[in-house]
């Protein structure tokens, strides 16, 4: 009987070893990072799934459209203010200091080409931002309002570090929002460290475009509109 038990033991050990190896391989496959996306410049971005949407967890910093053509870099203040065509810049025209952390600032005309986001991704619409905000707990009525809305959705979107005056968030959403500032009227750069402002693809009218903003001194999210010439950070969302 002992011999028979040993004859069963070997196949069991062998089967266990096979299952262990298979399980280990599956685990390795599961741990291989797949939650990234690359742009035309080769920059690699972390991504995060929030509800039914997958978002970039970093600001866009590409200098090329997804077809490989270059986006015009505009540094002159007057030229930026008068643009009615695509353009991008770095905050304070300082790529070395701001590219890695905050990404680039793009005007709406760049967004409107439909080629700014990596292939398979796009710049979110006003409605897609509302979907994100509602998933984080904002009511539909609040999402439709203008100005500061909701409760702690801004705190959920903000990164746990990088904000001035103790204005860090919890980043429970995984969005990891940072205060990249903006480029506004007459080409002036404003609010880095205090405000994160993101361009939305949806036009309000011929002059204005919708946008979103979070602040170091607010817990909620600002929905408003700005001139199409102004430059804001961009987050992309994956196509359905």
pLDDT band at 30 (very low <50, low <70, confident <90, very high): very low
Residue 238 CA to residue 164 CA, distance in Å, equals 30
pLDDT category, 22, cuts 50, 70, 90?
A: very low
Q: Is the pLDDT of residue 5 over 80?
A: no
Q: What is the rounded average pLDDT of the residues 77-105?
A: 98
Q: How far apart are CA 87 and CA 107, in angstroms?
A: 6
* Confidence at residue 239, expressed as pLDDT on a 0 to 100 scale: 98
pLDDT score for 34? 59
Q: What pTM, to 2 d.p., does this model score?
A: 0.86
pLDDT at 81 over 60: yes
CA 107-112-118 angle, to 5 degrees, is: 95
In which band, very low, low, confident or very high, does the pLDDT at 17 lie, cut at 50, 70 and 90? very low
What average pLDDT does this structure show over 189-217?
98
Tell me what the mean pLDDT of segment 48-72 comes to: 98
As a whole number of angstroms, the distance between CA 229 and CA 209 comes to: 10
Instruction: Give the CA count within 13 Å in the CB-facing half-sphere of 234.
Output: 33
Question: CB of 68 within 8 A of CB of 40?
Answer: yes
Can you list the pairs that 66-72 forms with residues at least 24 positions away whose Cβ atoms lie under 8 Å?
A: 66/39, 66/40, 66/115, 66/116, 66/117, 66/118, 66/119, 67/40, 67/115, 68/40, 69/115, 71/106, 71/110, 71/116
Q: What is the pLDDT of residue 167?
A: 98
Q: In which residue are the tokens 């070997």 written? A: 10
Query: pLDDT tens-digit profile of 167-185?
Result: 999 999 999 999 999 999 8
pLDDT score recorded for residue 13 = 35
Query: Count of residues for the chain?
Result: 240
The residue to which tokens 């009227």 are assigned = 185
CA–CA dist 129, 127 (Å, integer): 5
- Checking if the pLDDT of 23 tops 70, the result is no
Is the model's pLDDT at 61 over the cut of 60?
Answer: yes
Q: How far apart are CA 62 and CA 42, in angstroms?
A: 8
* Residues whose CB is less than 8 angstroms from the CB of residue 117 and which lie 6 or more positions away in sequence, other chains included: 60, 66, 123, 234, 236
Please tell me whether residue 44 adopts helix, strand or coil conformation. strand
Name the band, by pLDDT with cuts 50, 70 and 90, for residue 193: very high
Give per-residue pLDDT as tens, 119-156. 999 999 999 999 999 999 999 999 999 999 999 999 99
Average pLDDT along the chain: 89
157: its two tokens: 């979107």
pLDDT average, residue stretch 158-173: 98
Contact yes or no for 165/214 (Cβ under 8 A): no
Q: In percent, how much of the chain has pLDDT > 90?
A: 85
Q: How is the chain split into domains, by residue range?
A: 1-32, 36-238
Query: In degrees rounded to 5, what are phi and psi of residue 106?
Result: -120, 145
């Amino acid at each position: 009987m002992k011999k028979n038990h040993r004859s069963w033991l070997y196949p069991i050990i062998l089967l266990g070893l096979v299952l262990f190896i298979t399980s280990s391989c599956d685990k390795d496959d599961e741990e291989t990072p797949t939650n990234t996306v690359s742009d035309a410049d080769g920059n690699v971005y972390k991504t995060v799934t929030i509800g039914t949407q997958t978002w970039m967890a970093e600001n866009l910093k590409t200098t090329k459209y997804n077809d490989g053509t270059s986006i015009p870099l505009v540094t002159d203040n007057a030229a930026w203010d008068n643009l009615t065509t695509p353009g991008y810049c770095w905050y304070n025209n300082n790529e070395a200091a701001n590219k890695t952390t905050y990404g680039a600032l793009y005007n709406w005309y760049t967004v409107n080409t439909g080629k700014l986001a990596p292939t398979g991704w796009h710049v979110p619409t006003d409605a897609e931002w509302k979907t994100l905000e509602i998933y984080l707990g904002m009511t539909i009525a609040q999402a439709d309002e203008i100005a500061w809305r909701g409760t702690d959705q801004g705190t959920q979107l903000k990164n746990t570090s990088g904000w001035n005056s103790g204005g860090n968030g919890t980043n429970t959403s995984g969005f990891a929002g940072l205060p990249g500032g903006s480029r506004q009227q007459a080409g002036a750069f404003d609010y880095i460290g205090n405000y994160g402002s993101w361009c939305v693809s949806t036009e309000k009218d011929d002059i204005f475009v919708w946008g979103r903003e979070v602040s170091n001194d607010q817990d909620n999210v600002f929905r408003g509109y700005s001139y199409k010439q102004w430059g804001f950070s961009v987050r992309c969302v994956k196509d359905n």
